[in-house]
Structure 1
């Protein structure tokens, strides 16, 4: 199975698991009537929606570049992650509403043990799948899968807090604690949604690669540009799993086109070995264009 096929398969499985967990958490809420468990189930609806969005985005991102989008469809995953973030925030607002209503009209949840047990089972599924999504998302350099996994981990943390809190509700008999727990879940979800949107907007704004990757790129260029004078105006950006690198390479004015092309080929080959899925553009310039900055080769 290729990386592309594996990514799509994981996104499809994520949707199926999201539906299973939603069913379990809805069952737990139905048994107990707990506002906190209702908020937990509502967040699972968001998980299902985000899984659908991630699946669509992952499939779209695999499409090859064409005349309309010559740089490919990879940024579709960033749009997906922004949608996920917005959905998370909408869910948090709905949960806050239910929390306020629950606080004003408090009722002790029922069927404590069965509801908690079902919710614990759903949480265990989410823990395992969140770790799989984050690991595979990073391996495939898929922002959509990684965002989905991070959101699931937030869901897990929320659910653990709800379960611990509900034990306190049953132990103390203070019904308002149920609504307070729901409000805390909502605040945690809001923070998660903001994080997902922030990271995705960075990708849409063509943020440069991390400093360690920039250092690697500069070192590779310096080590493989024998015959050139300097390399300057180095720019980088990422789009999904692709890393775009472009820079100006200054060579002696008398150098033949063939030799300059050979140097460029050598640099490109080494960069592709050092940076996965690199897309490289090199603009060759004569020595009078030297800025005496950037990477000085000679």
Structure 2
């Protein structure tokens, strides 16, 4: 909705076009259910492998799968909350619920890492022989294939729908695959070398790797909660449209962007000729919003209409904004028309 909408004359109303309707969030809960199912399957398989072999590495792998299950349930709750429509209390919806899910998942990764590290140290100090290694490794490989397949599905869906929850869950599962690969190598090395302490050493290295992943997830979720700007490539799409529409009679400044889960937001000042009527300004902005919506369907646009020659139009530019024109352009100075 533009700032000029409320001033449109009643004699010539402009019906909203479908491209300017509120972007509809996609229900992504089916992916969370897929993650939950994968976690249950892998917990069962990895726990069985641990019981058969007695490997602390496989035990740590099973412990991370338990964390995967908890994280998947949290992701399901977050996605259900995020898709709920706006209300009188939550006027902009609840899209940022996804960032809480990613933060919780990051913390859960730390919990899994802590369990793995403590268990690895204990087994290093008190090494034990492994049993039924062949069957245990086979079962663990099957569990890793399940996790790997689901991780790819979640990562692709997260990228397509700009869902940090699915990206976080996918990264978590992919970390689990890496964990399993490390554990399998460690257990196989124990069999080949006979050095039992190699099993907990590998488990400890896996725990450190998991901590790195957790730090990345928490950092990304915090950035989202703090209204991080859109990526540079999306800024380029927006600024290209604005530059193309700058012709000496119309220009722009004060561009700001942010994202909340699937949704993207931008606000910009639109400076038009002083003699334009409210309807002319309104029609121009409607066309601008149509073009932006066609380029970025999930983008919500807020515009502020100002007279191009009025010095006051250049006094309210935000302190932090995205440059629209070249380095030689001063957004605080009226153009020479």
TM-score, with length taken from structure 1: 0.95
- 1:151-206 CA-partner distances (Å, limit 9, x unpaired): 11111111111101111101111111111011011101101101111111111111
Counterpart for residue 208 of structure 1: 229
Secondary structure of the corresponding residue to residue 4 of structure 1: coil
* 1:168 maps to which of 164, 178, 189: 189
Would you say the 8 A contact 1:225–1:267 is kept in 2?
Answer: no
Would you say the 8 A contact 1:221–1:271 is kept in 2?
Answer: no
Q: Which moved more, 1:250-259 or 1:236-245?
A: 250-259
1:293 aligns with 2:334: no
**How many Å separate the matches in 2 of 1:242 and 1:176?**
50
Would you say the 8 A contact 2:248–2:335 is kept in 1?
Answer: no
1:190 aligns with 2:211: yes
1:17 aligns with 2:17: no
Secondary structure of the corresponding residue to residue 281 of structure 1: strand
- 1:22-59 CA-partner distances (Å, limit 9, x unpaired): 11011101111111000000000111011101111111
Secondary structure of the corresponding residue to residue 231 of structure 1: strand
Counterpart for residue 76 of structure 1: 97
Counterpart for residue 234 of structure 1: 255
Q: Which moved more, 1:268-277 or 1:113-122?
A: 268-277
1:129 aligns with 2:150: yes
Secondary structure of the corresponding residue to residue 174 of structure 1: coil
Secondary structure of the corresponding residue to residue 235 of structure 1: strand
Counterpart for residue 30 of structure 1: 51
Aligned residues: 296
**Unmatched segments (≥5 aa) in structure 2:** 1-23, 315-329
Counterpart for residue 65 of structure 1: 86
Secondary structure of the corresponding residue to residue 235 of structure 2: helix
Q: Higher RCO, 1 or 2 (CA under 8 Å, sep at least 6)?
A: 2
1:104 aligns with 2:128: no
Deviation at 1:78, TM superposition (A): 0.6
Compare CA radii of gyration and give the structure with the larger one.
2
**Unmatched segments (≥5 aa) in structure 1:** none
Deviation at 1:90, TM superposition (A): 1.2
Would you say the 8 A contact 2:190–2:199 is kept in 1?
Answer: yes
**How many Å separate the matches in 1 of 2:192 and 2:37?**
36
Deviation at 1:221, TM superposition (A): 2.0
- Where in structure 2 are the equivalents of 1:82-97 lying within 5 Å? 82-97=103-118
Deviation at 1:73, TM superposition (A): 0.6
Deviation at 1:13, TM superposition (A): 1.6
| Larger relative helix fraction | 1
Q: Which moved more, 1:281-290 or 1:70-79?
A: 281-290
Would you say the 8 A contact 2:155–2:171 is kept in 1?
Answer: yes
Would you say the 8 A contact 1:203–1:239 is kept in 2?
Answer: yes
Classify 1:192/1:297 alpha carbon distance in 2 versus 1 (closer, same or farther; 3 Å).
Answer: farther
Counterpart for residue 26 of structure 2: 4
Classify 1:209/1:296 alpha carbon distance in 2 versus 1 (closer, same or farther; 3 Å).
Answer: farther
How much is the aligned-residue C-alpha RMSD, in angstroms?
A: 1.8
Classify 1:297/1:72 alpha carbon distance in 2 versus 1 (closer, same or farther; 3 Å).
Answer: farther
